[in-house]
Every structure is written in structure tokens, then in C-alpha cells.
Amino acid sequence: MNRLTEDEVVQDNQAQPAGDGIDRRNFLGCMAWAGTGLLWTMVGGVPASKLLAQTMKANGGAGTGKIEDFSFVQISDSHIGFNKGANPDVTGTLQKAIDKINIVPAGMKAPDFMIHTGDITQNSKTSEFDTAAQVIKSAKVGEVFYVPGEHDFSLDDGALYKQRFGKGTVGNGWYSYSHKGVHFIGLNNCVQVDAMGNLGAEQLAWLKSDLAALSASTPIVVFAHIPLWMVYEKWGWGTADGAQALALLKRFGSVTVLNGHIHQVVQKVEGNVAFHTAMATAFPQPAPGSAPNPGPMAVPAGKLQSVLGVTNVKVVRGHSHLAVVDHSLAEGA
């Protein structure tokens, strides 16, 4: 979780601390900032990734000719109510993200639904949830699915979040649903946050039961706020018992894990599991280990929209491919 107070802001020109044990060359090599596109291809349960620019160059800009089954979009970390220097108009940038989602290129279908991976609000206030709901309802998608972030849940034990966005969920807000042959699982790893995320025994038992009846060939998409894998333990960017959840998913041939929380794109592949964290719509955070602490990062006003964005995910019929492509708010501006 973020350990900065509401008033602390990280500048993007701070020196990197030495001797913290992180291999920055290898780690930062798998990061993509400023809306760099990434295409995930899953063939026979084996995922592969290429930067979107590389894919377009290799294909000569031409499409693959495959029929898209459906697509959905992910947004994260709106932080409605935040008003510090890193972004004094988070409502405006959330609206811009929704406006981009509503632009459907000719020949393509609108997303079937949208996923919000948490920190909808900054302070769990009724007015903040009201504002977020008002903006998000303008999205031209069939439905919106939510999971909470620690800013939505920890200040009032999730009372307002569960009232507004958690109806029909299990326990403290976890649930699953299937859509056109793909099984989606929304988890809450912000209930017992202590330095890092946590799922808890009750939720893990539910997850095991939820997965038990599914065939190993069923494509799985898991989404939660805090990364389920350990991005950077020193900053609490991971889930303490995430490995237990991931162990339950090992038998499936196609698993995609979508998270937020760290306000930047990081991705990796382990076996048949592809991990992807999303940019925020509110403000960026520093790369792991590149500043003394995580937290809102101030960038020049003209650069802000290039480090905020949305994620589009496409499921292609026949091979259960998931193509994950990030777009910054600056694209097409």
C-alpha cells in the first residue's frame, strides 16, 4: 500500500537510491510507461507478448484477419477526491478516459463491459463515490464490474463501497461471472492490508471452490487492486498470500491477471499466467526503487496525460487469445 500521507508528492527527478538490491536494468526492461502498447497472444495456453509497435511493423500494419469474440476495457485508480499538485483535476482525467473508451474505430465493436480495478475514490466519501458513479455511467459499455482498492475500503471497512458497488458479492466483495466462455474472478485483497495486500483464508477457500467445477481449458481472467505477484516488496507492491491464489490457477491453460495500485504498466509471464498492471486515470507513481517512497508523482503539466491511461483487452474466438493494449490519455489528443 502507499505509505505517503495525502500531502506528500514524489518528484520525477529524484535520484535513485543505491544498494537496495533491485536489478533495475532487468526489472525496468519489462516496464512500459506513457501508454506503450502491449499485445498478449495466447496460443494453446502459452502466452507471448510483443510491443504493439513491433507487432504492427511485423504485420505491415495489417490486421490478423481473426474474428474477435469480444473485448472489454480496464480502468484503475481514479482517486476521486484527490486534489494535490500531481493532478488537481482527477475528475477531468477520469472523464477523458471514459471519452476515449467511447470512441470506437470504424469496423470494430464497442467493449462488452468495463472493469475498474480499485481506488475509485481517495477518501471513501459519499460525495466521491457519487462523482465517480456519475462520470463512469457515461461509458458506452454494457456493464461495469468493480473491485475495491485500499482507499475505497480501509477507511470505513468498505461500508460505502459495498453499498454502492458490492451488492451481490460474496464475503467482503469477491465474486465471479462467466462471459462467452471466459471465466472472470474479482478479488478483494485490500481487506487486511498490512504493508502489502492480503486475501485471507475465507476468500482463498471460496476461490478454490469457484474454480473446482471448471475445465482446465477454460480461459480465466482474475482482477484485483493490488498486484497478486510481488512487484516490489520493499514498497508493499504485492499480495502476501497471492502465491496461494496463483497455485490454484496453475492447472488452467490460459490465465490473465489484471491489477492496478501501482499506477504504471508492468507485465510479466510465468508459465500459462500473464500478469498486467494498469496505468491510473489520476496520477503516476515512480518506478519501483527509483524514489525513496511510492506515492503521487508530479510531472510537468504537459506530460500528465501521457502517463495516465486505459487498457483494452480483446478475446479472439477459437484460441482464447487475450490481446492487452494500453493507451495513454494523450493519444489522439
Name the CA dihedral angle for 81, 84, 88, 94, rounded to a multiple of 10 degrees. -50
Beta carbons of 110 and 140 less than 8 angstroms apart: yes
Residue 166 has a pLDDT of 92
* DSSP H stretches of helix in 115-158: 126-136, 150-153
DSSP readout, 167-204? TT-BTTTBEEEEETTEEEEE---BTT-BSBBB--HHHH
What is d(CA 190, CA 221) in angstroms, rounded to the nearest whole number?
Answer: 19
What is d(CA 258, CA 278) in angstroms, rounded to the nearest whole number?
Answer: 8
Residue 154, pLDDT > 80, answer: no
Residue 262 has a pLDDT of 93
**What cell was used for 43?**
496460443
End-to-end CA distance of the chain: 32
Strands (E), the chain: 10-11, 31-32, 38-43, 46-51, 68-75, 113-116, 144-146, 175-179, 182-186, 220-223, 255-259, 265-270, 273-277, 297-298, 309-316, 321-328
DSSP state of 80: B
Beta carbons of 259 and 118 less than 8 angstroms apart: no
Between 178 and 50, the higher pLDDT residue: 178
Residue 266 has a pLDDT of 85
Between 218 and 51, the higher pLDDT residue: 218
- In tens, the pLDDT along 76-93 reads 999 999 999 888 999 998
Residue 15 has a pLDDT of 36
- In tens, the pLDDT along 2-23 reads 333 333 444 444 333 334 443 4
What is d(CA 25, CA 29) in angstroms, rounded to the nearest whole number?
Answer: 6
pLDDT band at 130 (very low <50, low <70, confident <90, very high): very high
**What cell was used for 308?**
495516465
